[in-house]
Structure 1
Amino acid sequence: MFGAIYGDVIGSYYEVRSTKDYYFPFEYHSSFTDDSVMIAAVAQAILHHPSDIGRLSLHARAREYAVQYRQYYSYFPYAGFGNMFSAWARNSNAKNGRSYANGAAMRVIPIGYAYETMRQTLLQVRASCIPTHKNREAMTGASAVAAAVFLARHGKSKNAIKAYIEKKFHYDLSIPLASIREEHVFHPRASYSVPPAIIAFLESTDYESAIRGAISLGGDADTQACIAGGIAEAFYHEIPEHIKRFCDGRIDGTIKDIIKEFNRIYIQT
């Protein structure tokens, strides 16, 4: 699951210094962001309570995700969280947020790995969204990402993944990445930023080309590379050693340890 974390790290520099250059350099000042922190939080929630849920336990499960979101925010409050999330995380009595942004989509990569049916995967995604992204648009984006990971790790072809997401979530994934890149700008809205990240994976030939495609859109680079990288790792099952070397020293040990423990249990590599 480091594929998502590495995408976040490499994309972090270009979140505020956007590039349309597919051959962009890996920048020294790259670092993990709130995306990696929240992936670790979701992984921790699953490790703490791995059982399946039903619809009647949806909100109880949502509260468990919320506990981990707040806990991990407290570990890394300066990792790049938005103002709305920060205000929610600091107030344990805050109502569920209704953000339409891509923050729910980037953190669900662990859910795509942990459960054995699509139904359970999508139930868990819904529960994970409720605390901060109780919004149809955000939930659709998160569900599409987790579904892509689920299908990729079960050996489905790119055509099958594309067809499922287009039918289930009504995303148009047929637009060439080059055409999207021409007009694409930074915007965190899920319906705007999630489909291009999935297309970056669909057009890729390996892990690195997936994250390069996502970052060179010139948009929400860290989050889109996080999403594309998470799906790509599930599909290709390998990450180049030079990417591991570049990123590993830029990830906090707490996050590394949680991801390693999650991988030990759920990802047999």
Structure 2
Amino acid sequence: MIGAIIGDIVGSIYEFDNVKTTNFPLFSRESSYTDDSIMTVAIADWLLHGGELAKIMQGYGRKYPCPMGSYGGRFGLWLKDLNPQPYNSWGNGSAMRVSAVGCFFDSLEKTLDVAEESAAITHNHPEGIRGAQATAAAIFLARTGKSKDDIRKYIVDNFGYNLNRTCDDIRPDYEFDESCQGTVPEAIIAFLDSQSFEDAIRLAVSLGGDSDTLACITGGIAEAFYRYEIPHFFVEKAGEVLHKDLWKIIEEFRERKLALFMSQR
């Protein structure tokens, strides 16, 4: 999950000032987290402690304003609604917040079920659900030792995304796209093209478009695949930037997963 947070922070300053190159500063004084990180942590809190997902997400949305701007229009209204209902969105918000689901469960079937649940609370359009499930599945497969070819084949076969492209193919004509169908495949391709965690983040941001969300999705998958290869400086920087209360949930999530891993050895 920390990989998704790092991706969001790195991409935050390039969302409306795209760079079409992998050669750019990863962090600056303006780097911050966005709604991607806030809702990612909200989902992690729900997985750790249970409760009603809509109320948890609304609580986070009301308590933690976006440092880099406001929440999206429909989602911003949903956060304030006394009786929040799904609004048939196919936006990439369902995929940007799902990384904790991909990290949490021991079976792919459970991962897919909970990814759908986490999406459908707002993004109950089939494309919104597909984006969340594909992202969570890629993370699950990456952390359970599957190869990039295995991950590519599973996503293509089960979700129908075109992953037979490269970042170099996508980059020249790619523009801002808030949809799952225009974000998730590209984010997965950035991971598939990469040689390291840092390379994955750089490739995602270099595509342009919705840079923070692209890098958030890519970062979640890349963390699961490259595991212990995230530079410590990146984690330190994320800890400095993220609100301390949000960081506490991330640490609790990591400790829970570590304790579970040790108990199964």
For the superposition of Structure 1 and Structure 2, which TM-score range results when normalised by the shorter chain?
over 0.9
Q: 1:206 aligns with which of 193, 196, 209?
A: 196
Note the alpha carbon deviations across 1:211-232, whole angstroms, 9 max, x for none. Answer: 0000000111000000111100
Q: Name the counterpart of 1:244.
A: 235
The answer as to 2:70 corresponding to 1:70 is no
Shift of 1:246: 3.2
Shift in Å, 1:245: 3.5
> How far apart in 2 are the matches of 1:97 and 1:64?
18
Quote the Cα distance in structure 2 between the aligned partners of 1:188 and 1:266: 31
Pairing partner for 1:178 from 168, 174, 190: 168
Greater displacement, 77-86 / 159-168: 77-86
- The 5 A counterparts of 1:25-44 are 25-26=25-26, 27-44=28-45
Q: Are positions 1:84 and 2:85 aligned together?
A: no
The correspondence for 1:224, drawn from 214, 222, 229, is: 214
Q: Return closer, same or farther for 1:78/1:247 CA change in 2, 3 Å cut-off.
A: closer
Matched residue, 1:155: 145
What amino acid does structure 2 have at the position aligned with 1:251? L
Distance 2:257 2:54 in 1: 22
Q: Counterpart in 2 of 1:54? A: none
1:14 aligns with 2:14: yes
TM-score (norm 1): 0.92
Provide the C-alpha distance between the structure 1 equivalents of 2:39 and 2:82, rounded to a whole number of angstroms: 17
Quick one: which amino acid aligns to residue 48 of structure 1?
H
Q: Which residue of 1 aligns with 2:245?
A: 254
Q: Which shifted more, 159-168 or 88-97?
A: 88-97
For residues 164 and 56 of structure 2, the distance between their equivalents in structure 1, rounded to whole angstroms, comes to 36
Q: Which moved more, 1:153-162 or 1:88-97?
A: 88-97
Tell me the secondary structure at the aligned position of residue 190 of structure 1.
coil
Once the two structures are TM-superposed, the CA of residue 129 in structure 1 deviates from its matched residue by 1.2
Letter of the 1:98 partner, please give it.
N
2:98 corresponds to which of 87, 94, 108: 108
8 Å contact from structure 1 (residues 65, 127) kept in 2: no
* Secondary structure of 2:8's aligned partner: helix
Equivalenced residue count is 256
Does the 8 A contact of 1:10 with 1:247 survive in 2?
A: no
- For 1:94, what is the secondary structure of its paired residue? coil
Deviation at 1:106, TM superposition (A): 0.8
Q: Within 1, Cα distance between the matches of 2:105 and 2:234? A: 28
Matched residue of 1:249: which SS? Answer: helix
Q: Distance in 2 between matches of 1:38 and 1:70?
A: 9
Q: Which residue of 2 aligns with 1:137?
A: 127
5+ residue gaps, structure 2, are none
Instruction: Report the residue type matching 2:54 in the other structure.
Output: A
Question: 1:244, CA displacement in angstroms?
Answer: 2.6
- Higher mean displacement: 151-160 or 92-101: 92-101
CA deviations on 1:183-235 (whole Å, 9 max, x unpaired) are 00111111011101000000111100000000000111000000111100000
User: Which runs of 5 or more residues in structure 1 are unaligned?
Assistant: 50-62
RMSD: 1.4
Provide runs of 4+ in structure 1 moved above 6 Å.
Answer: none
Deviations 1:141-179 (A, max 9, x none): 110000000001101100000000000000111111101
How far off its partner does 1:69 sit?
A: 0.8
| Structure 2 residue aligned with 1:52 | none
